Amino acid sequence: MRKIVIRAGEVEATAELNESATAIAIWQALPLEGSANTWGEEIYFRIPVSQALEPGAKELVQLGDLGYWPQGEAFCIFFGATPISGPGEIRAASAVNLVGRLVDDPKNLLSVSAGTPVRIEST
């Protein structure tokens, strides 16, 4: 596993990237910086990585999943329900490539607001 640190304002979270082609492309592009966009309990921001949907891309994700949204070329951090989630589910706007998972408590990200600077780097 490739270990990364996500810093969003005062919040720091460790995570691991998986072995997918998209995760490897993200790893090779590190460090990444952006400005947080929020959509319910999701943070996303555009990154300089261009990847197509992979087989196994999903709209329904799990708490703490990290995704890449090809339509917006965005890195996504899922830490709770989005505006289109049904009861007990976490639903992305459209299918995302799953690229990893948070190791730390996803709920730590609840305090991150739109516009917060975000930086992702290897550990």
Distance CA 86, CA 105 (A): 22
Q: Residue 63 has what pLDDT?
A: 97
CATH number reported for the structural domain that contains residue 41 in this entry: 2.40.100.20
Structural domain that includes position 115 = 2-122
| Residue 46 pLDDT grade (very low, low, confident, very high; cuts 50, 70, 90) | very high
For the chain, the domain total comes to 1
pTM of the model: 0.96
Distance CA 59, CA 13 (A): 23
H/E run at residue 78: strand 74-78
Residue 24 has pLDDT above 90, yes or no: yes
Distance CA 107, CA 118 (A): 16
Distance CA 106, CA 84 (A): 19
The mean per-residue pLDDT over the stretch 66-83 comes to: 97
